[in-house]
Amino acid sequence: MSRAERLLDLLQAFRRYKRPVSGAALAAELGVSLRTIYRDIDALKAQGAAIDGEAGVGFVLKPGFMLPPLMFSEEEIEALVLGSRWVAERADQPLGAAALNALAKIAAVLPDDLKAGLDDSALLVVPRERLAAGESELPLIRDAIRAQRKLTIAYADVNGAASRRTIWPIALAFFERSRMIVAWCELRNDFRHFRADRILSLELEQARYPQRRAALMKQWQAREDSHLGAPKPDCAPAAAAEALPK
């Protein structure tokens, strides 16, 4: 491993810790000697990294420092390529374009030898079937989630029965064959999961929902963890809801 790679690994290790970490713990994680850790910490400080602490007490990296030039391992590059290709093929057009633009920006600052790995990656994503009608509204749904604004939707359940709902969207889950909105439903006064392809119409409201999205996410995750909130028949199938990411 080159010294540059070792310094980058040390930075990544620091970012995983919210509290001061001992030099011994860093040395064990990176597989190097304690003396090497102290020398590398001094090297990072010399390059501008704000690392507080001392031997015997622990060290912590303050946020905001990037080590130039941008470096990635071969597996990290493959992960970036595969992820961007998946989003480009499986998400809506604006999000897919954003993924490719992000990859292009990364390529622009990579050294030539690493840049070649972006084009040579052998990890491919099979094209998905055309988006269902309701899924064309995914950009608007993402806008609502970011802005924490309510959505009014006309929604058809698994049996085709339609209803009108005002929901507080908090997350969007991407399955292989469907896209699922995690939301608080004002009609049911509870969390529900709505398939995007069953949305008949959608309107973004000016009103923001009254709770913070982060707080709602914690409530939903706690409910999912307790297995008390299986979705009702008017929303997503139970099997799909159980697979929602947490």
Sequential pLDDT tens for the chain (246 residues): 667 778 888 888 888 887 899 999 999 999 999 999 999 999 888 877 888 888 888 999 887 665 555 567 778 888 888 999 889 888 888 998 999 888 888 887 777 767 777 777 788 787 766 655 556 789 999 999 999 999 999 999 889 899 999 999 999 998 877 889 999 999 999 999 999 989 999 999 999 999 999 999 999 999 888 865 454 434 443 344 434 433
Residues 57 and 91 in one domain: no
Residues 54 and 90 in one domain: no
Cα(201)–Cα(136) distance, integer angstroms:
11
Residues 225 and 161 in one domain: yes
Residues 99 and 138 in one domain: no
Residue 83 lies in a domain: yes
| Amino acid, single-letter form, for residue 169 | P
Residue 203 lies in a domain: yes
CATH number of the domain at 140, please: 2.30.30
Cα(186)–Cα(210) distance, integer angstroms:
12
For 185, phi then psi, to 5°, come to -105, 120
Coil, strand, or helix at residue 202? strand
Tally of domains within the chain: 3
Residues 163 and 106 in one domain: no
Extended beta strands in 24-67, E state: 51-54, 58-61
Residue 66 lies in a domain: no
pLDDT of residue 245: 39
Q: How far is CA 68 from the centre of its chain?
A: 24
Q: What range defines the domain where residue 176 resides?
A: 133-242
Query: What torsion, rounded to 10 degrees, do the Cα atoms 83, 89, 95, 100 define?
Result: 60
Residues 181 and 91 in one domain: no
What are residue 54's DSSP bridge partners? 58
Output DSSP code: residue 175: -
Residues 141 and 232 in one domain: yes
Residues 234 and 137 in one domain: yes
Cα(135)–Cα(28) distance, integer angstroms:
47
DSSP β-ladder status, 149-156 and 179-185? unpaired
Residues 172 and 238 in one domain: yes
Angle between helices 34-46 and 23-30 (to 10 degrees): 100
CATH number of the domain at 19, please: 1.10.10.10
The answer to whether the pTM exceeds 0.85 is no
pLDDT of residue 74: 76
pLDDT of residue 7: 84
Residue 155 lies in a domain: yes
